[in-house]
Structure 1
Amino acid sequence: MSEPDPPIVLHALETCMTTPILSARNIEKSFGQMRAMQGANFDIHEGEVVALIGDNGAGKSTLTKILSGVLQPDSGEIYIDNTLVHFDSPLDARAHGIETVYQDLSLAVDLNAVQNLYLGREIASPGLMGRLGFLDKALMRRKAQESFARLGVRVPDMRAAVANFSGGQRQGIAVARALMWAKRVVFMDEPTAALGVAQTRNVLDLIRRVRDTGVSVVLISHSMPDVLAVSDRVTVLRHGRRVATYTTSTVTSDELVGAMTGALEREGAAA
C-alpha cells in the first residue's frame, strides 16, 4: 500500500466543499522498474481550470493518460461524481464526457477542419442514403461552423486541408473538436508550446471560453505565466505523487517552482 500524499498546501477551501466531477485516488503505475505514479491523487470540480504542473518525469503525462483511458493504473481508483469507474480505453473515458487535446493535436492534416471534427464520428445521411454509406456533409459543416463561432475559432477556409493553417488555428480546431464531444472535462497538454505571443493569448482566451461553457479544463503546462493567467487552481506533481494544491490567486511563480523542485521543503527543513 502506498504512503499517503505529503501535506497539501491549500490557500482556499471553498472549492473542496463541493463534490469533484473527476477524482483519482492512490494511483500507482510502473513501467518495468520505474514507478511513474506513486499513490497520486487528483481532483477537478465543475466549471474550473486546474493546472497540472511538475518537472520532467513528475508523472503529468502518465496521470493524464490514465484519466483519459489510454493507460490503465496498476492500482488506485477513479471516480466520476463520487461513482467508481473503470477506463479500459479512451472510448470509456469519452463515454463519461472526457476528451483530450494532445500536444501533437492528433489532427489529420490532409483533411479539412470539418472532417477533423467528425473523424470517426461522422453523421450519416438520413434514410437509404445513410444506409448506403453516404454522409450528411451539410449538417456536419453547419454544426462545425456553430462550434467554431461559439469558441471564437477562426477557420480561414472550411474546405482547405488543415496542413495549410497556422499552429494557433490548428490548436483552435483541436480544442473545438474536443469540446464538441466533451461533456465534463477536457485535458489540454501543453497547448501553447511553440506558439507565438499572439497565438498564445488566443489559446488562453479559448481555454477561458471552454470553461465558460461549463466544461472543466485540466491544463498541463510548463509555462508559469500561462498557468497563472488562466487557471483557478494548481496541482503540483513530483516523483509521481501530488505534493501541493494552490489557489492560483494566492500563489506566486516562485512558490510553484519551489513546490515542483522540492525547494520549499528544503527551505522549511533548514528553518
Structure 2
Amino acid sequence: MTTDKTAAAHGAVLKDTPPEGGGPLVELRGAGKSYGNIRALHGVDLAVHSGRVTCVLGDNGAGKSTLIKIISGLHQHTEGEFLVDGEPVRFTTPREALDRGIAAVYQDLATVPLMPVWRNFFLGSELTKGPWPVRRLDIARMKRTADEELRAMGIVLDDLEQPIGTLSGGQRQCVAIARAVHFGARVLILDEPTAALGVKQSGVVLKYIAAARDRGLGVIFITHNPHHAYMVGDHFTVLRLGTLEMSAARSEVSLEELTNHMAGGAELAALKHELSQVRGVDVEELPEADDLSAPLPASSEGNS
C-alpha cells in the first residue's frame, strides 16, 4: 500500500488509503476547539469508516474529551470542518448527533444501578401500548427486544430482571453498546470503556467492540492503553497537547511504535537521562532517544 507521509508537529502523520465501499461516515478536517484564549484542540484530522475501529489515544490533557464532545454534539468546533456522510454539520445538541446515527457511551454508562437490565436498556425510550391517555409500558415487548438484541451481540444473561448494578463492569459496558446499536447508531463512540476494568473484563469489552465493527458500525475507541487499542484497532490517531501526534493505519505501525508515539519520545529520552543519574537503575535496555523521537518510516508497496 502506498503511503503519503508528512511530518507533524511532534511526530509522523501517515495517511492510509481509505477502505473500499464509500467515504467516511464521520470526518474531521483541521478541526479545533478554543475556550476563550485556551486552545484545547487544533488541526485534527479524523475519518471514521463503516466496519472499522478508529482508536484515539492520548495521555490526560491530550484533547480526547474535547474531540468526543465535538463529534457527539455537546460542543461545537471553532475551526476546521466537521462532516457527516460528506455533509458539513454543526450540531448544537447531542440529540442532533443521535438523529444522524452518532452515539456516545461514556464511562458512567448513564445507567440506573437498581433498575433491571431490560429497563436500563430502554431508559428514556420506553415502549408503550394501549390508547391515550391510558397508555402503559409494554414490558413484555421490551424484555423480548432487549434479550434479542443482547443475544445478537453475543451477550447471554440468565435474568433480565436483575439490577444492572449487579453485573460486572464489562457486562454493563456490553449492555450499553448493544443499546446504542439497537437505537440506530452507525457511529459508536466509546469513552475509555476498559479504563476501570481488570484484564478479563477488558477482554470481554474488546470482544464486543470487534462484534460492533463486524456488524458494520464505525467505532471510535477512546483509550490511553495502546495494548487494548492494538488488539482491535484498524486505524490509530494519537493526540498530544491538543494536536495530532500521529495518524496511521494498522499496517503502518507496530505496537512498540504506537506506544512510543503516545508516550512522547522526547519525554522518554529525558526520563532515561534522569534515571541514568540514579544509582541502581539500569537504563541500558531502554530505547535510545533517536529511536523514540524519529518519525515512522514510510512503507513500501505491498507491505500491508
Maintained 8 Å contact 2:14/2:252:
no
- Residue 282 of structure 2 corresponds to none
Maintained 8 Å contact 1:154/1:169:
no
Pairing 1:60-209 to 2, within 5 Å after superposition: 60-125=64-129, 127-128=130-131, 131-209=133-211
Identity %: 38
Maintained 8 Å contact 1:59/1:237:
yes
- Residue 60 of structure 2 corresponds to 56
Describe the SS at the equivalent of 2:135: coil
Maintained 8 Å contact 1:38/1:240:
yes
Partner letter of residue 90 of structure 1?
P
Structure 2 residue runs of 5 or longer lacking an equivalent are: 1-6, 267-289, 296-304
Asked whether 1:267 is paired with 2:293, we answer yes
- Residue 34 of structure 1 corresponds to 38
Equivalent-residue separation in structure 2 for 1:213 and 1:201 (angstroms): 19
- Residue 29 of structure 2 corresponds to 25
Partner letter of residue 92 of structure 1?
E
Inter-CA distance 10–140: structure 2 relative to 1 (3 Å threshold): same
Partner letter of residue 241 of structure 1?
T
Deviation at 1:99, TM superposition (A): 0.7
Cα offsets for 1:57-88 (capped at 9, x unmatched): 11011101110011222233211111112211
Equivalent-residue separation in structure 1 for 2:80 and 2:144 (angstroms): 42
Inter-CA distance 57–85: structure 2 relative to 1 (3 Å threshold): same
Equivalent-residue separation in structure 1 for 2:196 and 2:263 (angstroms): 24
Inter-CA distance 133–38: structure 2 relative to 1 (3 Å threshold): same
Maintained 8 Å contact 1:155/1:169:
no
Between 104-113 and 243-252, the greater mean CA deviation after superposition: 243-252
Following TM superposition, the consecutive aligned residue runs of length 4 or more in structure 1 with deviations greater than 4 angstroms are 4-8
Equivalent-residue separation in structure 2 for 1:191 and 1:118 (angstroms): 20
Deviation at 1:122, TM superposition (A): 1.1
Deviation at 1:92, TM superposition (A): 0.5
Maintained 8 Å contact 1:22/1:43:
yes
Equivalent-residue separation in structure 2 for 1:251 and 1:268 (angstroms): 13
Deviation at 1:206, TM superposition (A): 0.5
Between 253-262 and 233-242, the greater mean CA deviation after superposition: 253-262
Structure 1 residue runs of 5 or longer lacking an equivalent are: none
Equivalent-residue separation in structure 1 for 2:263 and 2:20 (angstroms): 26
- Residue 278 of structure 2 corresponds to none
Structure with a larger share of its residues in helix: 1
Equivalent-residue separation in structure 2 for 1:17 and 1:260 (angstroms): 30
Equivalent-residue separation in structure 2 for 1:77 and 1:183 (angstroms): 22
Equivalent-residue separation in structure 2 for 1:141 and 1:194 (angstroms): 29
Deviation at 1:111, TM superposition (A): 1.2
Maintained 8 Å contact 1:11/1:250:
no
TM-score, normalisation: structure 2: 0.80
Between 90-99 and 134-143, the greater mean CA deviation after superposition: 134-143
Describe the SS at the equivalent of 2:197: coil
**RMSD of aligned alpha carbons:** 2.3
Equivalent-residue separation in structure 2 for 1:31 and 1:156 (angstroms): 48
How many residues align? The count is 264
Equivalent-residue separation in structure 2 for 1:168 and 1:262 (angstroms): 30
Equivalent-residue separation in structure 1 for 2:220 and 2:124 (angstroms): 24
Deviation at 1:13, TM superposition (A): 2.1
